[in-house]
Amino acid sequence: MQCTLDWQGPDGMLFVSRTGSGHVLAMDGAPDGGGQNLAPRPMETLLSGAGGCAAYDVVLILKRGRHRLTGCRVTLTAERAEHDPKVFTQIHYAFQLTGHALPRPAVERAVQLSHEKYCSAIAMLEKTAEISHSVEIIDA
């Protein structure tokens, strides 16, 4: 895995990352830190990636189990340390899964498997952060 980041110039803190898979991702800082608020902060990007990693696992597990999943939303809420480096200290994943007659045990098992076995992002972040999750199932 590889990515290359390029600073976009002397008038701000905008960075563009080009990933090994051929995609582009922009990151910027807050105005009080020299940025222009043109893109997500790097730590927001990290948090989004962690959510995507877990959501990917959960959807894949439920699809493989032939459950009738129609939607998956994960809202992450995080707290950071007060002093540098301001690592994440708490992260809560609120899963909202939509589908037809989704069995709660299967959904909770999928979330648990992601958190305990499959999600690489959680495995790294749990070194500094307390990770928790909740599950809401919506029948549709």
Q: For residue range 103-122, what is the model confidence (pLDDT) as tens digits? A: 999 999 999 999 999 999 99
Same domain, 129 and 90: yes
The model's pLDDT over 18-36, given as tens digits with 9 standing for 90+, comes to 999 999 999 999 999 999 9
C-alpha–C-alpha distance, residues 129 and 90, integer Å? 5
81 and 21, same domain (yes or no) = no
Residue 44 and residue 91: Cα distance in Å, rounded? Answer: 12
Q: What is the pLDDT of residue 57?
A: 98
Cβ contact 41:29 at 8 Å? yes
Residues 66 and 21 in one domain: no
Residues 28 and 49 in one domain: no
Does the pLDDT value for residue 37 go beyond 90?
yes
Same domain flag for 91 and 124: yes
pLDDT at 127 > cutoff 90: yes
| pLDDT for position 10 | 87
Quote the Cα angle for 138-75-3, to 5°: 130
Residue 112 CB neighbours (<10 A): 14
Predicted confidence at residue 27, as pLDDT, reads 97
- Claim to verify: residue 109 and residue 92 sit in the same structural domain: yes
- Tens of pLDDT along 40-72? 999 999 999 999 999 999 999 999 999 999 999
Its domain, for residue 130, covers 42-139
pLDDT of residue 46: 97
Q: How far apart are CA 33 and CA 37, in angstroms?
A: 10
What is the band of 90 on the pLDDT scale with cuts at 50, 70, 90?
very high
Query: Which CATH number does the domain housing residue 89 bear?
Result: 3.30.300.20
- 47 lies in the same domain as 89: yes
Number of domains in the chain: 2
